[in-house]
């Protein structure tokens, strides 16, 4: 199908399909095979010299995985994608593919906890330095960049405080210095934000979250307009580190993608109501949601996103004990580290997803102990609000 002829919801169902499925099946098969057979050594030569894009071995490629990659590439306006066994496999492989000993990576100070660990602990073992600064202060970002900086990496909206980074402005700073920009687009999903259109070099997702949408897959994906980079990432990193997605997970993600637009619209509608409710509640000190007009990043979010998503963070009066009480007392909302599912999920970043951050850094970066994060689900919004209201006491 010609991508330019269709809109997001249509592409999420059809993009990347090459002709009819075997036996005219509506759904693509799951190619549950580790290896592929060749007709002859001549066939081997054609495939291994990339003259043919036939398959070799599922750690390198597989038709079900390729369909997922092509669909994701279409949804993010890229020219190619690589699927991974998890979001972290995608993130670590991308960083290792772009950095060499002696280089440094500049990251936003608020990052998903495991990403922070890769940047601060694992890369350091290979003599790759890092600098963490608040990207909402662009002067601070400019100040820490030096001639060894090869990558600028951030999430927007950020996990867990929903801060919004001005993608275009960061890209301008990076391009002037020939630095690659990588954006983790997990919270927005490709439905609400397409960083490649704003000049970003590489966009990646924990596909475990909204792309899956049903809490039954762990997966990751990286997309870029640079096809040479995608080839390198696939064959020199994904294939060699071995963080391959399983064909079954690729198939489940293709199923999840069919309803991504539909789900995101409802997630967001529910989140707006929940955020407004929280904003008016007397024991809530601060609500962090890009869709609230009084939120710091609101105007940038409005500019660079087509919607505000469904992740909310808030701080309660009464400190950590009160935050614990709130998440322990909900009946409908469940306590879990993940997000983007049909079920409403809550968590305490301090005790859960961001536990790996040293306490003094949590303080410096404004990740407070009384912060509660909610992934607003698809249940009836009145039930969600009633549940939170009851738990706030
Ligand atoms: C923003 C973000 N990026 C990356 C990851 C890691 O993804 P995965 O758990 O699929 O490895 C997460 C996980 O929560 C996340 O929230």
How many structural domains is the chain composed of?
2
Cα(1) to ligand 1 centroid in Å equals 31
The two structure tokens encoding residue 369? 């102990």
- Is the domain of 228 the same as that of 312? no
Confidence at residue 4, expressed as pLDDT on a 0 to 100 scale:
73
User: Is pLDDT above 90 for 111?
Assistant: yes
Confidence at residue 136, expressed as pLDDT on a 0 to 100 scale:
97
Q: Where are the alpha helices (DSSP H) in 108-236?
A: 113-117, 123-125, 138-144, 167-175, 189-192, 227-232
Identify the CA nearest to 274 among candidates 384, 158, 392, 188: 384
Question: Mean pLDDT across the stretch 237-242?
Answer: 97
What is the atom index within ligand 1 of the atom nearest the CA of 337? Answer: 14
96 lines ligand 1 (CB under 6 A): no
Give dist(CA 220, CA 360) in Å, integer: 30
Question: Mean pLDDT across the stretch 288-304?
Answer: 98
Give dist(CA 23, CA 383) in Å, integer: 44
- The CATH number given to whatever domain includes residue 313 is 3.90.1150.10
pTM over 0.95: yes
Give dist(CA 302, CA 392) in Å, integer: 30
The percent of residues above 70 in pLDDT, for the chain, comes to 99
Confidence at residue 322, expressed as pLDDT on a 0 to 100 scale:
97
- Is the domain of 310 the same as that of 324? yes
Cα(261) to ligand 1 centroid in Å equals 20
Confidence at residue 362, expressed as pLDDT on a 0 to 100 scale:
86
Domain boundary among 236, 258, 280: 258
Domain boundary among 229, 258, 287: 258
- Is the domain of 182 the same as that of 283? no
From the list 66, 153, 180, 184, the catalytic residue is: 184
Under 8 Å between Cβ of 49 and 183: no
- Is the domain of 332 the same as that of 370? yes
- Is the domain of 119 the same as that of 197? yes
Confidence at residue 271, expressed as pLDDT on a 0 to 100 scale:
98
Q: What is the crossing angle of helices 260-279 and 247-258, to 10°?
A: 70
Helix (H, G, I), strand (E, B) or coil at 385: helix
* Higher-confidence position of 1 and 210: 210
- The CATH number given to whatever domain includes residue 78 is 3.40.640.10
What is the atom index within ligand 1 of the atom nearest the CA of 338? Answer: 14
Confidence at residue 2, expressed as pLDDT on a 0 to 100 scale:
66
C-alpha distances (whole Å) from 120 to each of 92, 109, 113, 340 are: 12, 11, 11, 27
- Is the domain of 340 the same as that of 284? yes
Mutational test site, ligand 1, from 161, 206, 243, max ligand atoms within 8 Å of CB: 206
Identify the CA nearest to 178 among candidates 149, 144, 155, 141: 149
What is the average pLDDT score of the chain? 96
Confidence at residue 8, expressed as pLDDT on a 0 to 100 scale:
98
184 lines ligand 1 (CB under 6 A): yes
- Is the domain of 355 the same as that of 250? no
Give dist(CA 354, CA 318) in Å, integer: 20
- Is the domain of 130 the same as that of 211? yes
Sheet with 284-288, edge to edge strand ranges: 284-288, 311-316, 371-375, 345-347, 334-335
Q: Which domain holds residue 320?
A: 261-392
The percent of residues above 90 in pLDDT, for the chain, comes to 95
Domain boundary among 258, 280, 310: 258
- Is the domain of 228 the same as that of 275? no
């Amino acid at each position: 199908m010609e991508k330019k002829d269709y809109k997001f919801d249509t592409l999420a169902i059809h993009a990347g399909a090459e002709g009819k499925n075997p036996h005219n099946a509506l759904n693509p098969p799951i190619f549950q095979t580790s290896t592929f057979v060749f007709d002859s050594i001549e066939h081997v030569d054609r495939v291994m010299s990339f003259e043919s894009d036939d398959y070799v071995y599922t750690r390198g490629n597989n038709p079900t995985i390729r369909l997922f990659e092509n669909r994701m590439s279409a949804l993010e306006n890229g020219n190619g994608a690589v699927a991974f066994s998890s979001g972290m496999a995608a993130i670590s492989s991308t960083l290792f593919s772009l950095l060499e000993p002696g280089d440094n990576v500049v990251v936003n100070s608020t990052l998903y906890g495991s990403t922070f660990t890769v940047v601060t602990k694992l890369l350091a073992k290979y003599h790759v330095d890092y600098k963490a600064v608040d990207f909402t202060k662009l002067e601070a970002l400019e100040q820490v960049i030096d001639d060894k900086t090869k990558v600028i990496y951030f999430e927007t909206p950020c996990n867990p405080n929903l801060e919004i980074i001005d993608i275009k402005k960061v890209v301008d700073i990076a391009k002037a210095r020939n630095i690659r920009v990588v954006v983790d687009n997990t919270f927005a999903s490709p439905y609400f934000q397409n960083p490649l259109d704003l000049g970003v070099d590489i966009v990646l997702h924990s596909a475990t979250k909204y792309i899956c949408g049903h809490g039954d897959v762990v997966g990751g994906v990286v997309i870029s307009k640079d096809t040479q980079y995608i080839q390198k990432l696939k064959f020199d990193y994904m294939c060699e580190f071995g963080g391959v997605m399983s064909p079954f997970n690729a198939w489940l993600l293709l199923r999840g993608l069919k309803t991504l637009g539909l789900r995101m619209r409802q997630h967001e509608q529910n989140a707006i109501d929940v955020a407004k409710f929280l904003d008016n509640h007397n024991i809530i000190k601060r609500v962090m949601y890009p869709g609230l007009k009084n939120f710091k990043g609101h105007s940038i979010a409005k500019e660079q996103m087509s919607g505000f998503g469904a992740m909310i963070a808030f701080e309660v009066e009464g400190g950590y004990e009160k935050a614990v009480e709130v998440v322990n007392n909900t009946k409908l909302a469940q306590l879990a580290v993940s997000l983007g599912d049909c079920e409403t999920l809550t968590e305490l970043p301090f005790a859960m997803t961001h536990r790996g951050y040293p306490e003094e850094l949590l303080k410096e970066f404004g990740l407070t102990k009384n912060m509660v994060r909610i992934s607003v689900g698809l249940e009836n919004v009145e039930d969600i609000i009633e549940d939170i209201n009851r738990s706030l006491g």
